[in-house]
A and B are shown apart, each in its own frame.
Chain A
Amino acid sequence: MIRDHFRVLVVDLAKGRGTIANLEGRDAVAGGSGLAAMLFDRYGLPDQPWDDPAQPLIFTIGPLTGYFPLMSKTVCAFKSPYHDQYAESHAGGRSALSLRFADLDALVIRGKAPVPSCLSIGSRRLDLRDVHFLWGTDLLRTGKMLRRMYKGAGHRSIFRIGPAGENRSAMACINVDTYRHFGRLGSGAVMGAKNLKGIVILGDGSFPLPGGKEYSRLFAEVHRKMTDTDMMEKYHNLGTPINMAVLNGIRALPIQNLQKTTDSEIENISGETFARDTLLRNAACAGCPVGCIHIGYVRERFMGENRYLYRQVSYDHEPIFAAGAMLHVTNAFSVLALLDTVEKEGLDVMSAGVALAWATEALEKGIISPRETIVPLKFGDEAIYREAVHHLGAASNDFYRLLGQGTLKAAEHYGGADFACVLGQEMAGYATGEVFYISQALGLRHSHLDAGGYSYDQKDTPPDIEGAVQFLVDDERARVLLTSMVSCLFARGVYGNQVLSDCLRSVGYLNLADGIDSVSRHAQKLRWRTRLRTGFDPRTVTIPKRFLEVETWKGRTDSAYLHKLKDAYVDAILALARDGSEADR
């Protein structure tokens, strides 16, 4: 629905009731990332802990969601259990279109349900149901049960958590429609703390489209660009795992807890190998014809006489990096088996893989003992890692409970911080150099997607502090505009500012169409201001020693450049937040 305000459903889990809030601000923040920060400003408690029942769990979509191809993602915002500060995580699946057709620009969940519950909403529905019988149930089984309990197959989105979320692990994800995730920074624990096992969003509304031919013409043009050109080939052909061989080839793939950056065995878990041996099919987020989701399979012999079971598991570059390269598990089916276990526990795979890689090296070095790890962690031993993943999700002992709060938290207690591969949170799958390390360590989401630092590194430009920081600031601003619409970032090659402006105009957002530059600046500043208000001090961020020891095609990390770059980006972030405060007064 095109409207100049936001229609927000605010649910109070303690009462099982909700309120529709019609809020101004469309022309200032657009939606998505900008709206999420605006809603946290309104409903969040910056000084209270993340698990205060009154803290909001926020889901937002954008002005173009559903109206154009790849406008198919949802922003989740919350106070994170990982650092007790403002955080954002993004996911696709059917989440965005379901919220659109539920006639909501945002869903804000406050309070704590009295018993483990499932929230169900739609354009004509609000219902909180007791699902105590699902508490403790693994994430995949939970999905099956919820599908049976609620109607709307195909036109709904189901969010759910596994045991990790119930146990308030800061690495707990929210699973979306089986194959997508609000992965990072512990949104799953926020649901767990709210006694919320699942959320079912029924997309049962429909809306009239603007008259005239311009919208249809523009839709066809954008759709053609998304499907006819080579621009999207890398996403639907081998998919993101194409990066495994590329990064391994330039000695920039983090392997075995970043002890090395290239290894001949990586060929066995390359995108090419996964596609050739394990790929069953592709899937797509609703509203996206690209179909970048790659689904492989796990086949397990569970009994003699050739009794097998199989399951389907989605894979991408980041999961393969974390469960494969980082743990030196170099068999594609073993990686998928590990991913399957991570899914069941409801853990973020990137965080879990990197944390277990640190734990393995810590065990090797004698910093921790089998008393802590319960199982003898060993690089390459997938079966042992599957047990360890279960212990991490279940928080089986003090060690795993602490590790689930973050690798550096465990390292602060046991030692071994030098080789903890943490850049704000557990690292993403790029060891490309200084700009990426700084981008993730200081980025608002601590994500490789905050800005293209990994790409900047690969351009082989000589050290240029001013140029690199300007790139990070500008690229982040461009991405914030996209995540305020909310577009998939894979579409960034198509959705330039002019195309976005044309799209907004064609559906009737005339002010937004004219003001996207100011929207992106405002949303960028608002997010930083929100992050800093909840306690983030970029000056305190440290880069563990392991990153200084990395060797890539460019040679060893330039420590002096890295630290100067960090200081300069810190200044830029503080300036952004400061300007934001002034502009909003």
Chain B
Amino acid sequence: MKILTAPRMERCIGCHSCSLACARLVHKSLSWDLAGIRISSSGGLSTGFEARTCLACQPAPCAAVCPTNAYSQRKGGGVVVKKSLCIRCGECARACPVDAIFLDQTSEPFVCIHCGRCVSFCPHDCLEFTGARDGGGDTEEEEP
């Protein structure tokens, strides 16, 4: 299965189009938080931007700590989340080593589902939706 990677973040201009697209298309929200990819400046705008997004861990530490099996391992990396099984404990977000899971006010988790719908909204081609583990970029270096 394909996964989303962010291999060219040095090109990012901070428009947040990817986050807004994810929130809009996947989560039916106007938000830059309720999204599987979130952009932050790394120490002020003058040092550029970084993407907080799921690195498609395999095995995924967030799935390992989920006490209700709401999280399960996704084939090819990452996780599948069944919100109906989630008890909003927030353990997934605490287990994520790269802060890729956002918890809203009720502790509902938002994590990338690797659907690739954000990719076409990036004006500088920072993102890639590729076959698992063959896309290079930061996922290869970030194996847990």
A residues at B contact (CB < 8 Å) = 66-67, 69, 97, 100-101, 143-144, 147, 153-155, 177-179, 203-209, 211, 216, 219, 223, 227, 281-291, 293, 311-312
Contact = CB atoms under 8 A, between A and B. Distances in A.
Given A177-B45, A216-B25, A287-B20, A155 B32 contact: yes
Contacts of A287: 15-17, 20
A288 B123 CA distance: 10
Question: Interface centre among A206, A285, A291, A293, by most B CB within 10 Å?
Answer: A206
B69 interface: no
Contacts of B143: none
Question: Interface centre among A100, A283, A290, by most B CB within 10 Å?
Answer: A283
Nearest to B39: A154
A284 B32 contact: no
Contact of B40 (A69, A154, A204, A216): A154
Contacts of B104: 206
Contacts of A206: 23, 29-31, 33-34, 104
Given A154-B40, A178-B45, A289-B123, A207 B14 contact: no
B115 to A, nearest CB: 14
A67 B14 contact: no
Interface in B9-32: 13-17, 20, 23-25, 28-32
Interface string B34-48: 100011111111101
A230 B14 CA distance: 22
Contacts of A227: 123
Given A154-B38, A154-B49, A207 B31 contact: yes
Contacts of B38: 154-155
- Among all A-B residue pairs, the 8 with the closest Cβ atoms: A154-B40, A206-B31, A284-B15, A291-B13, A284-B13, A289-B123, A207-B30, A312-B46
A195 B58 CA distance: 53
Contacts of B13: 281-284, 291, 293
A371 to B, nearest CB: 39
B124 interface: yes
Contacts of A291: 13, 15, 123-124
Contacts of B39: 154
B21 to A, nearest CB: 9
Contacts of A289: 15, 17, 121-123
Contacts of A97: 16, 32
A512 B41 CA distance: 36
Contact of B45 (A100, A179, A219): A179
Chain A interface secondary structure, helix, strand, loop or mixed? loop
A530 to B, nearest CB: 31
Given A66-B30, A207-B29, A288 B15 contact: yes
24 contacts: A66-B20, A101-B32, A101-B33, A143-B44, A154-B40, A154-B49, A178-B45, A204-B33, A205-B31, A206-B29, A206-B34, A207-B31, A208-B28, A209-B24, A283-B45, A284-B14, A285-B15, A286-B15, A286-B16, A287-B20, A288-B15, A289-B121, A291-B123, A311-B46
A97 B34 CA distance: 14
Contacts of B30: 66-67, 100, 206-209
B85 to A, nearest CB: 22
B31 to A, nearest CB: 3
B33 A155 contact: yes
A429 B49 CA distance: 32
Question: Interface centre among B28, B40, B44, B122, by most A CB within 10 Å?
Answer: B44
A216 B39 CA distance: 22
Contact of A209 (B14, B28, B49): B28
A77 to B, nearest CB: 25
A288 B14 CA distance: 9
B79 to A, nearest CB: 21
Given A143-B44, A283-B45, 10 more contacts: A66-B30, A101-B31, A144-B44, A154-B41, A155-B33, A177-B45, A287-B20, A288-B15, A289-B17, A289-B122
Contacts of A216: 24-25
A494 to B, nearest CB: 15
A287 B19 CA distance: 10
A262 B84 CA distance: 69
Contacts of B25: 216
A487 to B, nearest CB: 15
A216 B28 CA distance: 10
B44 A283 contact: no
A205 B43 CA distance: 22
B83 to A, nearest CB: 15
B13 to A, nearest CB: 4
Contacts of A101: 31-33
Contacts of B32: 97, 101, 155, 203, 286
A153 B23 CA distance: 19
A147 B31 contact: no
